[in-house]
Structure formats: structure tokens, C-alpha cells
Amino acid sequence: MSMATMNIKDPAVRELALELALSRGVSMTEAVRQAVIEALRHDRQNDDDYVARGLRLAGAIRKEMDALGIEPLTDDDLYDERGLPR
């Protein structure tokens, strides 16, 4: 397996990577690796939170519909016998 090379051409990004490396006492490569891992972990956590919030919201809506005696629409309500929208 060959390894690709990452070339950081933006001087500001290079300085930030250097600052992070120096503050953590690691190489610039290790600093970038750690930062990418942390960013991905954060994004994945946000994705999980988003899904969990959506499921809670759907549950709350269903509970309210039940309390009001409202039945959710079914495929039969939305589509005719040929599968076309009503």
C-alpha cells in the first residue's frame, strides 16, 4: 500500500498546525492526525445526537397524535390501487 503525501500550501493552516504540534509536544503530522480524529469524533457525535433528537421528536408527535385520537396516514391513504398518488 503506497502512502499519499499531504501538502499544506496555506501558510495560515501550516502555522496553526505548527502551533498545535508545539503545544502538544508532537510532530506536525501527529498534530494534524489528532485534530482530524477529534473533528471526526465531534461530527459523528453530532450526527448521533441529531438522529436521537429526531427520534425523540417523532415519539412526541406520535404521543400527541394518540392523545388527540389522530391516526397517521397509511400508504392506502396516499396512493391508489395502481400505486399512484391520490
pLDDT digits (tens, 9 = 90+) for 33-76: 999 999 999 988 888 888 888 999 999 999 999 999 999 999 99
What pLDDT is attached to residue 2? 65
- What are the boundaries of each domain within the chain? 11-78
Q: Yes or no: say if 63 and 56 are a contact pair by the CB < 8 Å rule.
A: no
Answer with the residue of higher pLDDT: 20 or 5. Answer: 20
CA distances for 51 relative to 41, 56, 64, angstroms: 15, 9, 20
Cell numbers given for 62:
406520535
pTM for the full predicted model: 0.55
Write out the three cell numbers for 21.
Answer: 504540534
Burial of 73: CB neighbours in 10 Å, binned 0-12, 13-18, 19+ = exposed
